[in-house]
Amino acid sequence: MNAVTNKTIRFIDLGLSEYSDAWDFQTARHESIISVKTRNRSSDTPAEITENYLIFCEHPHVFTLGKSGDEKNLVIPKEQLSSINASYHQINRGGDITYHGPGQLVAYPVIDLENFFTDIHLYMRNMEEAVILTLNDFGIKSGRVQGLTGVWIDGDKPGRARKICAMGVKTSRWVTLHGLALNVNADLNYFNYIIPCGISDKAVTSMQKELGQTLNLEEVKKSLLKNFTAVFGAVLSDPL
């Protein structure tokens, strides 16, 4: 572990960003953190502090497939994606296929877990908890489903469970990539073009659908930012 830990998180809001641009942005920061850790291991001088980032954005319509996913879960032929103004990317996170689009809040934590704890299971549960607390701020009761990742509504009610937040991550030398996608005002029709996360027997929902009204995305951002930093015991360096 680094001699000095850093629990400060730098917040960055990319706004509406092409998937490839956001991928390049988070990857550059991921590689920068790993470079610092590599220097620390080979240096006799006091360790450099590694940075932590929390990146928010929305994406134009895009489907992404994780490294363990099955391309058959994209149920529209790839050559027809342009007809629905969507793109497709195979990426190196865990999980299967998911959708990103306008009205969905995507969060990419690029953090050095050695600044916090070295436990991937706890990391995933903490992200879920931050989303559960955020939904609660807006009067939506949510929780987990045994054996499944993400945040769910009525997860304990057979036939009624619906996913409101998907998650998929990758870590390298305890530095995280990718993250979560919370459906705020997302167009849920796009989920009809995939089998979300490879799960065919559960529905997908959004905050807008659950509450019957359009949400102020900036207010949701503020809530998630507050809850994420609280759950991780972090300090925010750049308030929203």
Percentage of the chain exceeding pLDDT 70: 95
Predicted local confidence at residue 198, as pLDDT: 60
Domain boundaries, the chain: 8-236
Predicted local confidence at residue 66, as pLDDT: 85
pLDDT per position as a tens digit, 76-97:
999 999 999 999 998 888 778 8
- pLDDT band at residue 238 using 50, 70 and 90 as cut-offs: low
Percentage of the chain exceeding pLDDT 90: 77
Q: Which is catalytic among the residues 9, 106, 180, 197?
A: 197
| 165 catalytic residue (yes or no) | no
**CA 81, 95, 172 angle in degrees (round to 5)?**
115
Predicted local confidence at residue 18, as pLDDT: 97
pLDDT per position as a tens digit, 147-195:
889 999 998 888 899 999 999 999 999 999 999 999 999 999 999 999 8
Q: What pTM was computed for the model? A: 0.94
Long-range contact pairs involving 117-121 (C-beta distance under 8 Å, separation at least 24): 118/1, 118/174, 120/169, 120/171
- Assigned superfamily of 8-236: Bira Bifunctional Protein; Domain 2 (3.30.930.10)
| Residue predicted with more confidence, 68 or 114 | 114
| Overall average pLDDT of the 26-50 stretch | 91
**HEC readout, the chain:** CCCCCCCEEEEEEEEECCHHHHHHHHHHHHHHHHHHHHHHHHCCCCCCCCCCEEEEEECCCEEEECCCCCHHHECCCHHHHHHHCCEEEECCCCCCEEEECCCEEEEEEECEHHHCCCCHHHHHHHHHHHHHHHHHHCCCCCEEECCEEEEEECCCCCCCCEEEEEEEEEEECCEEEEEEEEECCCCHHHHHHECHHHCCCCEECCHHHHHCCCCCHHHHHHHHHHHHHHHHCCEECCCC
Predicted local confidence at residue 45, as pLDDT: 81
